[in-house]
């Protein structure tokens, strides 16, 4: 009998207090015995379920820090490409277009769009200034999030980067 079966069989009907006590005992065991990476992966998976597949600041910053692109000269450009204040300002101006996504979902998508497409935009629009490229990247991020036929149309970016 695994922990889920034990909890379901003997904890059902015993009230919320019993469930929280069970969660506390499992959490203590996980913290004590599970390797760090496995704990992190479990926390991320649990958070994804509890949040409905939307980012928070911690997981957004973690994923954004992994993003980069390498330009034609071989220079590596690492995210984040915008300060949080700029992302918030852009998000406030576009949030009506990307419901139900939050600011952190948008931040991840925006940085991913730049990391994945900057070189292509530079090739297509060689005379564009950085501001013009960034405006195109904002539009790409909005368009990417508005993909209603995606397998997870209300949690696309979370599921894309977390293999839902």
Burial pattern 81-112, b for ≥16 Cβ within 10 A else e, equals bbeeeebeebbeebeeebeebbbbbbbbbbbb
Query: CA 10 to CA 71: how far, in whole Å?
Result: 59
Q: For the chain, list residues with pLDDT below 70.
A: none
Q: What is the pLDDT of residues 81-120, one digit of tens each?
A: 999 999 999 999 999 999 999 999 999 999 999 999 999 9
Per-residue pLDDT at 3: 87
Domain ranges of the chain: 52-162
Per-residue pLDDT at 101: 97
Per-residue pLDDT at 148: 85
Coil/strand/helix, residue 77? strand
């Amino acid at each position: 009998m695994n922990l889920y079966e034990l909890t379901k069989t003997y904890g059902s009907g015993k009230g919320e207090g019993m469930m929280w006590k069970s969660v506390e005992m499992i959490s203590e065991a996980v913290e004590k015995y599970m390797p760090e990476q496995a704990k992190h992966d479990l926390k991320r998976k649990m958070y994804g379920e509890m949040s409905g597949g939307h980012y928070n600041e911690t997981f957004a910053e973690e994923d954004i820090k992994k993003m980069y692109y390498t330009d034609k000269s071989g220079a590596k450009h690492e995210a984040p490409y915008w300060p949080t204040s700029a992302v918030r300002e852009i998000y406030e101006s576009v949030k009506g277009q990307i419901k139900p996504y939050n600011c952190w979902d948008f931040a991840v998508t925006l940085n991913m769009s730049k990391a994945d497409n900057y070189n292509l935009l530079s090739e297509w629009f060689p005379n564009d200034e950085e501001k013009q490229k960034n405006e195109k990247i904002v539009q790409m991020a909005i368009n990417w999030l508005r993909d209603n036929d995606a397998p997870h149309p209300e949690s696309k970016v979370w599921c894309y980067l977390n293999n839902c």
